[in-house]
Amino acid sequence: MTLSPRHIEIFHAVMLSGSVTQAAIALRTSQPTVSREIKEFERSLGFLLFTRKGRSLVPTEAAISLHGEVRRSFVGLEEIGRTAEAIRANASSHIKIVCMPAYSTALLPSLCRGFLQNNEAIRLSIHALGNSVLSAGASAQHYDICLIEADLGFAGWSSTSINAGEQVCIAPKGHPLTRKSILGPADFEGVDFIYFSAEDMYRRKLDNVFREHGVTRRLRMEVSTAAAVCSLVAQGLGVSIINPISAAHCLNQGVEMRRLSFSIPYIVRLHRNQSTGNPRSLNTFADQCVEAIMNIRRQVQDGLALHAEVLPAM
């Protein structure tokens, strides 16, 4: 099957606008031309893309599925356009960062601010993705830096493991658990708890700890991102155990942080694409990322130590 780029462009315009009229205006062509090209595209594909409802076109399930792939192609073209514009503006160096959603809010904003202030000719882009999509993009070398909890194991990437400190408990301000400076497994017996999804590697480690101690927490909610955990804890829906980077970020959101009597080190893995075209700026950003994580580790340790001075371990 040979597909015409023009057919794909018209299909994309109709999907975005929802009408032949608006698509024709966007493409600076006529309505009959758009209608004819859509029909030819359907004949080439061998299935219907739209049904008519009054004057509107309603995309079929097949059209929606196809447009998902078409949209990714157009995003790629838009990225090429942005890169060309950046080169025109003498900002020719572009670092593409892919990371877990937690790092896009709790780590990277302040890091990027400092980096860009001293590197005006560099452009950054951040892609916060789930593990499977992130890994696929890294495998295809679509990015320059990858920040994730797991090893990638792909050729062409170097890896640095950063010990960001220990996992900590976060609880709503005034929660009974905040009366203690150090919390053991037994302290969580029957306590409302916000869980990460079952696929989370640290969720599995925590489950093993509580299982070994015969402790049953009360499952209140299960979510997939650290930001969601922090928000739910701040709303008083339960306590949780979370990575120190996210914990430090949410301390001004109505939560308190406490040390655990058991150790679960939190490791961030920083992967660098060795085939990148701007190794010097990439290494500078990576070094500053390591420094930022270590600063957060020290801040968390200082905050926990302060609580230990004024509260009993019990």
The pLDDT value given to residue 77: 62
The pLDDT value given to residue 200: 84
Cα–Cα distance, 113 to 117 (Å, whole number): 6
Dihedral sign of CA atoms 251, 254, 259, 261 in order: negative
Specify the residue for token string 């709503």.
Answer: 172
Task: Look at residue 313 and tell me whether its pLDDT is greater than 80.
Answer: no
Domains and CATH numbers, the chain: 5-76 (1.10.10.10), 91-162+267-299 (3.40.190.10), 165-266+302-310 (3.40.190.10)
- Give the largest Cα separation in the chain, rounded: 79
Q: Of 94, 80, 46, give the one whose Cα is nearest residue 66.
A: 46
Task: Look at residue 218 and tell me whether its pLDDT is greater than 90.
Answer: yes
Cα–Cα distance, 303 to 181 (Å, whole number): 11
The pLDDT value given to residue 83: 59
Structure tokens at 184: 């053991």
pLDDT, tens digit, 9 for 90 and up, residues 104-158: 999 999 999 999 988 887 888 898 887 767 777 777 777 899 898 888 777 778 8
Cα–Cα distance, 203 to 206 (Å, whole number): 5
Rg (CA), the chain: 25
The pLDDT value given to residue 87: 55
